[in-house]
Amino acid sequence: MAINVDTVYKTVLLILNQQQRGYITPDELNKVATQVQLNIFEKYEDDLSQQYRAIQNDTEYANRVKNIEENLQFFQRTGATAYVGPHFTLTPTDIYRLGSVFYRGTQLTEYSQRNQITQLLLSPLTQPTTSFPVYLYENNLLYVYPTTIITGTDITISYLKKPADVIWAYTTGTLGQFIYNAGSSTDFELNVSEQTNVITRILAYAGIIINDPSIIQIAAGEVQKEEQNSKQ
């Protein structure tokens, strides 16, 4: 379940108004919310790497590796490729990070650098075959060896998509007020469990926008405590 952008905006405004700290416009909210979502998303990979090295709690809801992987599921995709010789182009336009490459449904486990490809091709003993192909990923293009593999439908990929920009869309009322337009809005793509984290981080940015150091300090402190708790 995604986080509703209207709920977040109303909560942020409520907190700011209660403290008489100022106001953040819808356009400011959209820019800040998009950046906050990207920050949280990018942190998942670092957190996952760290948790893989830690002893895990195997209870149903407290396994941190499982929880992070569940958060990432919203961004996991599979996609096609097209051969435009001598390489394959990636069909999806929202790729943030390439995951695995598959040849006829079988994962290619051999990823090579440019210098390694050259060495592999020099010897008959190490040359890639259709039974053991290798690939090079360079400049957002896939080079698959042996070069006899030229059918786009044979090569597929898994990847993480880039989070869509958050949009709190609105129309303007007769009094100049902003009226939420749900049909034109784009919610956060993060798990609803991140809602408090999102609001806290937006408040930190809001403190910068309205030039209130106290808001920045309080919000930053909450973010730091949350990060410390997640790593213990």
Q: Closest Cα to residue 70, out of 3, 4, 1, 7?
A: 1
**CB count, 10 Å around CB of 7?**
15
Q: What is the mean pLDDT of the chain?
A: 85
Q: How far apart are CA 56 and CA 6, in angstroms?
A: 36
Domain finish residue from 161, 177, 209 = 161
174 and 156, same structural domain? no
Q: How far apart are CA 86 and CA 94, in angstroms?
A: 23
Q: How far apart are CA 152 and CA 144, in angstroms?
A: 11
Domain that holds residue 34: 2-72+165-231
Interstrand relation of 141-145 and 88-90 (parallel, antiparallel or unpaired): antiparallel
**Please, what is the Cα angle at 79 between 100 and 72, to 5 degrees?**
65
pLDDT value of residue 51: 67
**Which residues on adjacent β-strands are paired with residue 180?**
170
181 and 133, same structural domain? no
170 and 62, same structural domain? yes
Q: What is the mean pLDDT of residues 29-47?
A: 91
179 and 141, same structural domain? no
Element (H, E) at 226: helix 213-231
Domain finish residue from 161, 184, 218 = 161
112 and 66, same structural domain? no
Domain finish residue from 118, 140, 161 = 161
155 and 80, same structural domain? yes
26 and 99, same structural domain? no
87 and 47, same structural domain? no
Interstrand relation of 155-161 and 95-103 (parallel, antiparallel or unpaired): antiparallel
149 and 98, same structural domain? yes
Element (H, E) at 103: strand 95-103
What's the start-to-end Cα distance of the chain, in Å?
Answer: 26
Q: How far apart are CA 32 and CA 10, in angstroms?
A: 15
- Provide the H-helix boundaries in 81-212: 114-122, 195-209
144 and 82, same structural domain? yes
* pLDDT score of 210 more than 60: no
169 and 147, same structural domain? no
pLDDT tens-digit readout, 184-198: 999 999 999 899 899
83 and 57, same structural domain? no
Number of structural domains in the chain: 2
Q: What is the mean pLDDT of residues 161-182?
A: 95
pTM above 0.85? no
